[in-house]
Amino acid sequence: MSEAVLPEELRNKVREIIADVLEADADELTEESSFVGDFDADSLLVIEMYSRFERDLGIKVPQEDAPELDSLPATYAHLAKYAPEAAGV
């Protein structure tokens, strides 16, 4: 079974949303960055990310996945599972 991949355009939008929520420059977010460790993200910021993914991108992610969304790669992988346009890619 192949894993769904988030399209590059969507990855860029996700990065922008996360940077906005974390009040960071998008260039500061790297593939190795930890939202909690590097940007002091707390549970309220993670909830804000979820609501922005749903509102701005139409991607609803179950809140039980919240602890796993601490980096760009993890977030991309989780969003790809729930993104309508990533299905079947």
Per DSSP, helices labelled H in the chain are 8-22, 35-39, 43-57, 72-82
CA 21 to chain centre: 11
User: According to the model, what pLDDT value does residue 57 have?
Assistant: 93
Average pLDDT for consecutive 10-residue bins of the chain (89 residues)? 75 96 94 94 90 92 81 92 63
Reported pTM: 0.86
| Domain covering 8-86 in this structure, CATH number | 1.10.1200.10
Q: Is 7 helix (H, G, I), strand (E, B) or coil?
A: coil
User: According to the model, what pLDDT value does residue 23 have?
Assistant: 96
